[in-house]
């Protein structure tokens, strides 16, 4: 407290010194930076969970391939904020190869995985989980192999950390195979799952308990309920910001599961939900394979085509782009354009590419071959929107296409064709014996 005789100036000086001392204390505090990849069933609720973890009041939107955001948290008051990078893989299992983008040798030491499984679709559950985790594990193992040669200390540290959640005296220590990165498995849409038959819920719950324990992962069931989302948030904050994780456990199959890594056991989980005679008929080399066969006997998996969404993505309304669709439709309907072949498919490429306006990014390609001309790719508004023109190799209709398409662009550009192409245009005129009109281009 300032003395009664202190002036306002004295108080201000004391406050500045106090803040400078506090900043000096923070100089030795290292800012943590971690990454978390969310993956799982398509439309499984990954975006909703991320937004809730970051306290963002936004409506979730469909994820396009691989999306990124970040969050910041301070571990204590008046301390620097740690940073967490959140990656989200869309498309279920169809885009799993994209995991190579966020997981690299430079950040693998501070990386974690959140697998979101849709409890309302048990016939997709095992295949989705197996596909995503297997590809991720293979990729991480390749990184660790390289690190073993270039940075063996980091590789050793990551491999040792895999066992942090399971003590050596744990009875299951020799029976599990921990995932190489910290892993949280979230069973989403518990509100729908809760309406299933009790025996069905028990089979799914026991199976996910086994898988989580086998991989050294945490398990939590969640829904739109704020209380359940809070439990998921606790586990994710532990991965992303190093916050303390809860020690509470809920293993009652009639209630939402919440089991932090290392707090379950095979003895508590019990045997696979099948009769002894059925288990005897199943040939499995590992406990994981046995549980898989028992689970898929009850819930036969969907075909791979259903899970991987292999339909033409160009027809997916999620990726619709009006201007591009208009151009494609026009090309299909135009008999002149159908007789043209894109330059990329012929032996001689364009002689040069000239950028008309660096700000817009519109490029016109020009070639010296007598049958090689440059045209726009559709309606004027489409050219303006896409900022791209395409070169075509045409035999018969060069002049007509040339003049028509330049007329489209004329509405938006104000440049002399001669100014743009200079001597190349004169050479083209002589070689092709075509008449080029000097046209004004105007594109705002």
**Does one domain contain both 79 and 199?**
yes
Residue given tokens 């990551």 in the structure block = 158
**Does one domain contain both 147 and 203?**
yes
pLDDT at position 101 over 90 = yes
Residue 54 or 355, more confident = 54
**Does one domain contain both 249 and 357?**
no
**How many Å apart are CA 34 and CA 190, to the nearest integer?**
29
Per-residue pLDDT tens digits for 255-307? 999 999 989 999 999 988 887 767 777 777 888 999 999 999 899 987 654 44
As a whole number, the mean pLDDT across the chain is 74
Residue 369's Cβ-count burial label (10 Å; 0-12, 13-18, 19+) is middle
pLDDT of residue 78: 66
pLDDT of residue 338: 52
Look up the pTM and report it. 0.65
CATH of the domain at 67: 3.40.50.300
CA separation, residue 191 to residues 40, 68, 299 (Å):
18, 28, 20
pLDDT at position 137 over 80 = yes
pLDDT at position 87 over 50 = yes
**Does one domain contain both 293 and 327?**
no
| Cross-strand partners of 81 | 74
Q: Are the CB atoms for 222 and 49 separated by under 8 Å?
A: yes
If pLDDT is split at 50, 70 and 90, which confidence band does 205 have? very high
Q: In b/e form, how buried is each residue of 108-139, taking b as 16+ CB within 10 angstroms?
A: bbbbbbbbbbbbbbbebbbbbbebbbebbbeb
Range from 168-172, 195-199, 299-303 carrying the lowest mean pLDDT: 299-303
In a domain, 157, yes or no: yes
Per-residue pLDDT tens digits for 327-361? 777 777 665 555 544 433 333 333 333 333 333 33
**Does one domain contain both 50 and 193?**
yes
H or E element at residue 169: none
If pLDDT is split at 50, 70 and 90, which confidence band does 318 have? low
Per-residue pLDDT tens digits for 236-261? 998 988 888 788 899 999 899 999 99
165: DSSP letter: T
**Does one domain contain both 287 and 332?**
no
> Phi and psi dihedrals of 19, rounded to 5?
-70, -40
pLDDT at position 404 over 60 = no
**Does one domain contain both 355 and 388?**
yes
The angle at the Cα of 159, spanning 111 to 95, to the nearest 5 degrees, equals 40
In a domain, 22, yes or no: no
Q: Based on C-alpha coordinates, what's the Rg of the chain?
A: 31
pLDDT of residue 153: 92
Cβ contacts of 55 within 8 Å, gap of 6 or more: none
User: The tokens of 379 are what?
Assistant: 């309606």
pLDDT of residue 428: 47
pLDDT of residue 401: 44
Number of domains in the chain: 2
Q: Give the structural domain span for 405.
A: 322-442
Q: Is 320 helix (H, G, I), strand (E, B) or coil?
A: coil
**How many Å apart are CA 45 and CA 49, to the nearest integer?**
6
């Amino acid at each position: 407290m300032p003395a009664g005789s202190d002036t306002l100036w004295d108080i201000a000086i004391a406050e500045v010194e106090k803040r400078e001392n506090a900043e000096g204390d923070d100089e030795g505090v290292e800012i943590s930076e971690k990454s978390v990849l969310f993956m799982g069933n398509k439309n499984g609720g990954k975006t909703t969970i991320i937004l809730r973890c970051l306290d963002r009041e936004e409506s979730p939107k469909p994820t396009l391939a691989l999306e990124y955001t970040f969050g910041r948290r301070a571990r204590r008051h008046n301390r620097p904020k740690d940073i967490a990078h959140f990656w989200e893989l869309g498309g279920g299992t169809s885009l799993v190869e994209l995991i190579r983008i966020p997981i690299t040798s430079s950040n693998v030491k501070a990386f974690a995985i959140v697998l979101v499984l849709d409890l309302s679709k048990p016939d997709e559950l095992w295949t989705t989980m197996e596909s995503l985790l297997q590809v991720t594990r293979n990729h991480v193992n390749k990184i660790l192999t390289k690190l073993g040669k270039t940075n063996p200390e980091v590789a050793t540290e990551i491999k040792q950390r895999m066992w942090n959640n399971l003590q050596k005296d744990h009875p299951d220590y020799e029976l599990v195979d921990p995932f190489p990165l910290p892993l949280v498995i979230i069973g989403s849409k518990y509100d729908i799952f809760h309406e299933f038959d009790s025996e069905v819920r028990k089979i799914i719950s026991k199976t996910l308990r086994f898988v989580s324990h086998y991989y050294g992962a945490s398990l939590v069931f969640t829904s739109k309920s704020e209380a359940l989302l809070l439990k998921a948030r606790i586990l994710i904050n532990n991965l992303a910001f190093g916050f303390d994780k809860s020690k509470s456990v809920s293993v009652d199959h009639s209630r939402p599961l919440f089991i932090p890594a290392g707090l379950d056991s095979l003895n508590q989980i019990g045997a696979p939900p099948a009769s002894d005679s059925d288990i005897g008929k199943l040939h499995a080399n590992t406990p994981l394979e046995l549980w898989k066969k028992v689970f898929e006997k009850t819930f036969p998996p969907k075909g791979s085509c259903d899970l991987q969404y292999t339909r033409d993505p160009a027809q997916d309304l999620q990726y619709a782009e009006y201007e591009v669709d208009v151009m494609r439709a026009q090309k299909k309907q135009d008999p002149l354009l159908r007789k043209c072949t894109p330059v990329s498919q012929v032996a001689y490429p364009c002689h040069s590419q000239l950028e008309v306006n660096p700000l817009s990014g519109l490029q016109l390609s020009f070639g010296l071959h007598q049958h090689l001309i440059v045209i726009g790719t559709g309606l004027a508004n489409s050219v303006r929107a896409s900022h791209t023109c395409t070169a075509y190799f045409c035999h018969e209709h060069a002049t007509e296409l040339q003049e028509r398409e330049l007329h489209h662009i004329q509405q938006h550009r104000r440049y002399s064709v001669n100014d743009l192409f200079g001597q190349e245009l004169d050479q083209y005129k002589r070689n092709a014996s075509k008449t080029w009109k000097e046209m004004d281009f105007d594109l705002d």
